[in-house]
Amino acid sequence: MTSARTPYYLDCDTGIDDALAIAYLLAAAAQPDSGVDIVGIGSVSGNVSAAMGASNTLDLLALAGRSDIPVAVGAHHPKVGEFRGGAPHVHGENGIGNVELERSAASAVSESAAEMLVRLAHKHAGELRVIAVGPLTNIADALHLDPTLPGLVKELTIMGGAALVPGNITAVAEANIANDADAASDVFAADWFITLVPLDVTMPNVFLEEHRAALIRSGRPVASALGHMLDHYFEFYVGVYGHRASALHDPLAVAVALGDLALKSAPVVRVVVDTTDGPGRGQTVCDLRGMYNGYPEQSGAHTRVVLSLEDDFAPTLLARLLVA
């Protein structure tokens, strides 16, 4: 099936940075010449439970006037072990900074997120672009439902991992990957083109108080709500940056997937995920040994690892959110 617009499926665990990512994607889709068509959103347990993530997503879509976008509830537990309750200290008890949005009249669809992804991949064969900004449980489940999935998906963009920098949940592991390392291992082992947007690039790109204030001052419902959500997020990041700010993990991944950013360094390399039970569990092991001579082509490599951008992302994000 062909269409004038490019179909995107988003898989998320809707906390605060996921909300920023959704708003960025919605704003892009609202531009007449963008070619962006959001064909579905799936939720997975991570920042919050999959059920709460779906509820947050539905409420945000309603606030934006896009209740037509189908939302599917995905996996509650990772492949191994159980969901451990999320990250309320980072995202608030409700996942969106304890901001109360008006409840959406829409409900999640009956199919699971993995089932939705497989169906959309067949419907938009060779065209569907998948963006995953939470644990990769749903993506792995979809692979198990249909091993032909990599041949149907145009590109998979993942926010997660750490290539040359420390992790944020262990010394070496980033939260999305660590929360389901076994699923992540399956996803990276599959034969599709992946763009990985790791902490290397998301941590240096930050939102500041001036950006948050601009969102609130705008008076626009979505932008204002995001500004208030960020208050809680900023408080958490005081312990990381030493001042009120926030990393831009998930919206940056969406912007990369849309082609909105100039990439300064993004080599295509081999990536595997550590699934052992030792201190390395959840690490994205990226073969970056070629950095000293310009990353020559690696046989069998199919993961583009975004290490840096040409420009600061915050102004681009702010401009997009102010029209969300």
What local confidence, expressed as pLDDT, does residue 180 receive? 98
- The vertex-247 CA angle with 83 and 190, nearest 5°, equals 55
Q: Which residues contact 210 (CB under 8 A, 6 or more apart)?
A: none
Residue 18, in any domain of the structure: yes
Tens of pLDDT, residue by residue over 143-176, are 999 999 999 999 999 999 999 999 999 999 999 9
Residue 238 forms part of a structural domain: yes
Look at residue 246 and tell me if it is in a domain: yes
263: left (phi over 0), alpha (psi -120 to 50) or beta: beta
pLDDT of 308: 98
Position 157 in a domain: yes
Q: CB count, 10 Å around CB of 298?
A: 15
User: What is the pLDDT averaged over residues 295-318?
Assistant: 96
* pLDDT for res 1: 40
Residue 1 lies in a domain: no
In the chain, the percentage of residues whose pLDDT exceeds 70 is 99
Calpha distance 136→46 (Å, rounded): 10
CA distance 232 to 96: 8
Q: Which of 91, 124, 211, 249 is catalytic?
A: 249
**How wide is the angle at C-alpha 77 spanned by C-alphas 76 and 82, nearest 5°?**
135
Cβ neighbours of residue 139 closer than 8 Å, sequence gap 6 or more: 11, 114, 117, 130, 132, 156, 183, 187
Q: What is the pLDDT of residue 193?
A: 98
Q: What is the DSSP string of 100-151?
A: -PPPPS----SS-HHHHHHHHHHHTTTTEEEEE-S-SHHHHHHHHH-TTHHH
Q: How sure is the predictor about 33, in pLDDT bands with cuts at 50, 70 and 90?
A: confident
Instruction: Provide the residue count of the chain.
Output: 324
In DSSP terms, 268 is beta-bridged to 304
The whole-number pLDDT of residue 158 equals 99
Which residue range(s) make up the domain with 312? Answer: 6-321
Instruction: Judge whether 275 lies within some domain.
Output: yes
Instruction: Please report which helix (H) or strand (E) contains residue 91, including its range.
Output: helix 88-91
pTM of the complete model: 0.97
Compute the average pLDDT of residues 93-122. 98
pLDDT at 132: 99
Flag whether pLDDT at 142 surpasses 70. Answer: yes
Least confident of 26-40, 142-156, 255-269: 26-40
DSSP 253-275: HHHHHHT-S-EEE--EE-EEE--
User: Known catalytic residue: 18?
Assistant: no
pLDDT tens-place string over residues 62-105: 999 999 999 999 999 999 999 999 999 999 999 999 999 999 99
Average pLDDT, the chain: 97
Q: How many domains does the chain have?
A: 1
pLDDT reported for residue 32: 85
Q: Tell me, yes or no, whether 136 lies in a domain.
A: yes
| pLDDT tens readout for residues 169-211 | 999 999 999 999 999 999 999 999 999 999 999 999 999 999 9
Catalytic-labelled residue, pool 13, 180, 186, 274: 13
Residue 219 lies in a domain: yes
Is 76 annotated as catalytic? no
Looking up residue 120, the CATH number of its domain turns out to be 3.90.245.10
* Band (323; pLDDT cuts 50, 70, 90): confident
Residue 231 has pLDDT above 70, yes or no: yes
